[in-house]
Amino acid sequence: MQSSAHTADGTANVPRLAEHFASLEVQNHAARLGMWLFLATEILLFAGLFVCYGCYRFLFPEAWAAGSRSLDLTMGTVNTIVLITSSLTAALAVHYAKEGKNKMVGVMFALTLVMAVGFLVIKYFEYAHKFHIGTLPGRYYFYEGMQMPGITLYFTVYFCSTALHALHVIIGMTVLAVAMVRAFKKKDFGPNNYTMVELGSMYWHLVDLVWIFLFPMLYLV
């Protein structure tokens, strides 16, 4: 099925084929399909928060405008660039995994993890500032610079969506860290065995995808 040019990698590193699959490619296909199903549920999870955002923005447009202008656009933009770049390195890890370059897979995932930590650190500074001035959700809001109906709802949506996103960043980091350790230690990724790298990287792209929508929604408009 696979080209014989890869036998050095290919024969040694073929993953175990479960009995109920006709062949390895069917097994890989099933793994991908399962991942897409899982990502679909993740998209719908975030969509619930997008609906809250849409409805309350519709009802309280002034609060939404004031709230988004009170955020630090520079930090948000830097975070967007950091996350997009980390997505690039995650995609490159899949590229190198297919070529069997395990060291590069590990390096790419390490870079991704460094950027993920950077993202969380910037997010921490943004959160700390909000806790300091009091732009907090619901009844915990105590910022006097902005007092208008619906402003607390903006920060409820802000904190719910960014915190859920940050949780996904942490989960994604765990998955990528496991793949990174395997690439460095077991060194068994190759043209026939890169499902783990591919699916882990897909999860990371989902985290990026959600942020691509959250960033303009929260910071820009």
Partner 1 sequence: MAIANESHQEEKNMHAHHGAGRYWLIWGVLLVLTVVTVVTGRMHLPSFGLLLALVIATVKGTLVTLYFMHLAEHRGANRIVFGVSIVFVVLMLIIPLADFGTRFRGANPPGSQYSDLQPPDIGTGAQRGRFGGGLRPHQTKDTPETPEPGHH
Contact between 179 and partner 1 (CB under 8 A)?
Answer: no
* Size, binding site for partner 1 by CB under 8 A: 73
Are 195 and 31 a contacting pair, CB within 8 Å? yes
Kindly indicate which of the ranges 92-100, 114-122, 161-169, 176-184 contains the residues binding partner 1, using the contact rule CB under 8 A. Answer: 92-100
Does 147 bind partner 1 (CB under 8 A)? Our answer is yes
CA-CA distances (angstroms) from residue 59 to 32, 55, 161? 40, 6, 19
Q: Does 40 bind partner 1 (CB under 8 A)?
A: yes
Using the contact rule CB under 8 A, the part of the chain among 11-19, 110-118, 181-189, 205-213 near partner 1 is 205-213
Identify the residue among 92, 105, 113, 183 touching partner 1 (CB under 8 A): 92
Nearest-approach distance from CB 90 to partner 1, in angstroms? 8
Buried b (16+ CB within 10 A) or exposed e, 13-22: bebeeeeeee
Could you say whether residue 44 binds partner 1 (CB under 8 A)? yes
Site membership for partner 1, residue 213 (CB under 8 A): yes
Contact call for residue 48 and partner 1 (CB under 8 A): yes
- Work out how close the CB of 120 gets to partner 1 at its nearest, in angstroms, rounded to a whole number: 19
Reduce the DSSP state of residue 190 to 3 states and report it: strand
